[in-house]
Amino acid sequence: TAAAVEELTTPPVQVNFTKLLINGQFVDSASGKTFPTLDPRTEEVIANVAEGDAEDINRAVAAARKAFDEGPWPKMSAYERSKIMLKFADLVEKHNDELAALETWDNGKPYLQAAQAEVPSFVRLFRYYAGWADKIHGLTIPADGPHHVQTLHEPIGVAGQIIPWNFPLLMFAWKVGPALACGNTIVLKTAEQTPLTALYVANLFHEAGLPPGVLNIVSGFGPTAGAALASHMDVDKLAFTGSTETGKTVLGLAAKSNLKPVTLELGGKSPFIICEDADIDHAVELAHFALFFNQGQCCCAGSRTYVHERVYDEFIEKAKARAMRRVVGDPFKKGVEQGPDDSEQFQKVLRYIRSGRDSSATLECGGDRFGSKGYFIQPTVFSNVKEDMLIAQDEIFGPVQCVFKFKDIGEVIKRANNTRYGLAAGVFTKNIDTANTLTRGLRAGTVWVNCYDVFDAGIPFGGYKMSGMGREKGIYSLSNYLQVKAVVTPLKNP
């Protein structure tokens, strides 16, 4: 019903920051232009935000360059950097609820998800990387000749970072945390759909003592601000999260400009494999969570649910019942599991649903928009999905579960790997041998066994194949933001 959508809660937060952040100051864009950011619940404008383009990227990169070359950040003791990051984490924790409300308002995700999981996980990540700041160091290496050889692990310089709209705060943390721990300076380009929370936290970062110019934020669009950042000659490293198609574009821009190294976190079509020995009720719940979490807008969504033929019918019946029980509505209301999807994504997801309905897959439930206002989509389940269908191959990025039937483990490994993506996978079994065979056979950057979407700060995340290059989080992310310098000195009296 549409009733849940129409009675909306007023977000318990104000929008205080809408300008670009350059050199520690909130400023208008050079062109004076602004763009609206929308409430996906109502399609109404929340605020008009300064729209940065190439000229603003130039200003932001110049500020980041100066802060890197002359500023205290890369030169201050690692312990001092760590203390500022810890103080920032404390401030964010103090503003947990306002930040969660702003995230929900701009993005549409359930408020409790933002308040109880995402903001705390943001805080945890900054504390984790604050802990790394003074533990980054090189090696001394035995040389053949009479030489003293050491490596210095130095910050790489000005990092350009481009993030998407599905987890605005978490993507900020995954990018900014390791880059700052290593002593770099940053120009961050937020997604045009969700510019608000990055500006809010950046203000807190300056309150915590971050020097001006270390973190610059340019709101704006991909082909203008994003492309200018990716192709900037004075940006030393690029980190990008978004679609595979845009990933190829930014990698090309980096190559054509100054060959800045690039890390990419891109799309996925992750298999979730339920074996015949699985506890079905638990498997149904986890498979549901793996796909529908965050309105289905996760790059690692378990979007191909493979179910063993012996438990398939029972699974379908229960998965359908679970999807039909899913509570869709105002994400600020308690008990609501699913809010609106992204505005652009909305039409795209509905097109994929139509393509599924036109194929020989069986529509078990859902299959349309939810209500008549806002970008809400009915939780949708297709069974009898075959690999050659469009819904089986493309990343849908919405609340659409596709269920496939399989017979044996060797076969399901081949089918699960038969995709251009390789971001994540889920395996559900009680048998340790089956689990080991699957985890080693699947070509994916993460394999969750009997769980899904576990994202601790220390666990690396990234993709095989066209799901990306490099890893974020954990110790692995540090190398993205460091240069290794070998220093060789002759020994006079070896």
Active site residues: 265, 299
Q: Which is nearer to ligand ADP, 445 or 468 (CB)?
A: 468
- Counting contacts by CB under 6 A, is residue 393 touching ligand ADP? no
- Counting contacts by CB under 6 A, is residue 230 touching ligand ADP? yes
d(CA 282, CA 219): 42
Which of 72-80, 209-217, 244-252, 484-492 is the region at the interface with ligand ADP (rule: CB under 6 A)? 244-252
d(CA 133, CA 196): 28
The closest of 370, 374, 341 to 42, measured between CA atoms, is: 374
d(CA 163, CA 299): 13
Q: The tokens of 145 are what?
A: 């000749």
Compute the least distance from the CB of residue 254 to ligand ADP, in Å.
Answer: 10
The closest of 398, 314, 424 to 108, measured between CA atoms, is: 398
Compute the least distance from the CB of residue 97 to ligand ADP, in Å.
Answer: 26
Helical axes 96-107 vs 78-94, angle rounded to 10°: 70
- Counting contacts by CB under 6 A, is residue 343 touching ligand ADP? no
Q: The tokens of 254 are what?
A: 């980096």
- Counting contacts by CB under 6 A, is residue 283 touching ligand ADP? no
Spell out a b/e string for 35-68, using b for 16 or more CB atoms within 10 Å of the CB, else e: bebbbbbbeeebbebbbbbbebbbbbbbbbbebb
- Counting contacts by CB under 6 A, is residue 226 touching ligand ADP? yes
Please select the residue that binds ligand ADP; options are 23, 96, 203, 243, rule is CB under 6 A.
243
Compute the least distance from the CB of residue 346 to ligand ADP, in Å.
Answer: 12
Please select the residue that binds ligand ADP; options are 26, 35, 221, 476, rule is CB under 6 A.
221
Compute the least distance from the CB of residue 192 to ligand ADP, in Å.
Answer: 5
Q: Which is nearer to ligand ADP, 246 or 294 (CB)?
A: 246
- Counting contacts by CB under 6 A, is residue 252 touching ligand ADP? no
Query: Cα angle vertex 50, ends 49, 53, to 5°?
Result: 130
Which of 138-146, 241-249, 407-415, 430-438 is the region at the interface with ligand ADP (rule: CB under 6 A)? 241-249
Compute the least distance from the CB of residue 189 to ligand ADP, in Å.
Answer: 6
Could you please report the per-residue DSSP string of 411-427? HHHHHHH-SS--SEEEE
Q: The tokens of 403 are what?
A: 């269920």
Give the binding-site size for ligand ADP (rule: CB under 6 A).
17
Q: In what order do the strands lie in the sheet with 215-218?
A: 25-27, 20-22, 215-218, 185-189, 158-162, 237-241, 262-265, 468-469
Which of 31-39, 76-84, 95-103, 223-231 is the region at the interface with ligand ADP (rule: CB under 6 A)? 223-231
Compute the least distance from the CB of residue 168 to ligand ADP, in Å.
Answer: 10
Compute the least distance from the CB of residue 388 to ligand ADP, in Å.
Answer: 24
Compute the least distance from the CB of residue 336 to ligand ADP, in Å.
Answer: 23
Please select the residue that binds ligand ADP; options are 36, 72, 209, 223, rule is CB under 6 A.
223
Q: Which is nearer to ligand ADP, 178 or 222 (CB)?
A: 222
Restricting to residues 307-336, which ones interact with ligand ADP according to CB under 6 A? none
Q: Which is nearer to ligand ADP, 383 or 419 (CB)?
A: 419
Q: Which is nearer to ligand ADP, 116 or 347 (CB)?
A: 347
d(CA 123, CA 208): 14
Could you please report the per-residue DSSP string of 236-303? -EEEEES-HHHHHHHHHHHHHTT---EEEE-----EEEE-TTS-HHHHHHHHHHHHHGGGG--TT---
Binding mask 133-172 for ligand ADP (x = CB under 6 A): -----------------------------xxx--------
Compute the least distance from the CB of residue 190 to ligand ADP, in Å.
Answer: 6
d(CA 130, CA 207): 17
Which of 179-187, 238-246, 288-296, 404-412 is the region at the interface with ligand ADP (rule: CB under 6 A)? 238-246
Q: Which is nearer to ligand ADP, 123 or 228 (CB)?
A: 228
Binding mask 170-209 for ligand ADP (x = CB under 6 A): -------------------x-xx-----------------
Q: The tokens of 484 are what?
A: 């290794």
How many residues does the structure list for the chain?
Answer: 494
- Counting contacts by CB under 6 A, is residue 227 touching ligand ADP? yes
Compute the least distance from the CB of residue 419 to ligand ADP, in Å.
Answer: 18
The whole-angstrom distance between residue 489's C-alpha and the CA centroid of its chain comes to: 43
Could you please report the per-residue DSSP string of 305-349? EEEETTTHHHHHHHHHHHHHH--BS-TTSTT--B----HHHHHHH
CA dihedral 151, 155, 160, 166 (to 10 degrees): 90
Which of 50-58, 147-155, 221-229, 422-430 is the region at the interface with ligand ADP (rule: CB under 6 A)? 221-229
d(CA 300, CA 244): 13
- Counting contacts by CB under 6 A, is residue 38 touching ligand ADP? no
- Counting contacts by CB under 6 A, is residue 250 touching ligand ADP? yes
Radius of gyration of the chain (CA): 23
From the CB of residue 203, how many other CB atoms can be counted at a distance below 10 Å? 17
Q: Which is nearer to ligand ADP, 130 or 349 (CB)?
A: 349
Q: Which is nearer to ligand ADP, 202 or 311 (CB)?
A: 202
Q: Which residue has the tokens 């002359």?
A: 70
Positions touching ligand ADP (CB under 6 A) are 162-164, 189, 191-192, 221-223, 226-227, 230, 242-243, 246, 249-250
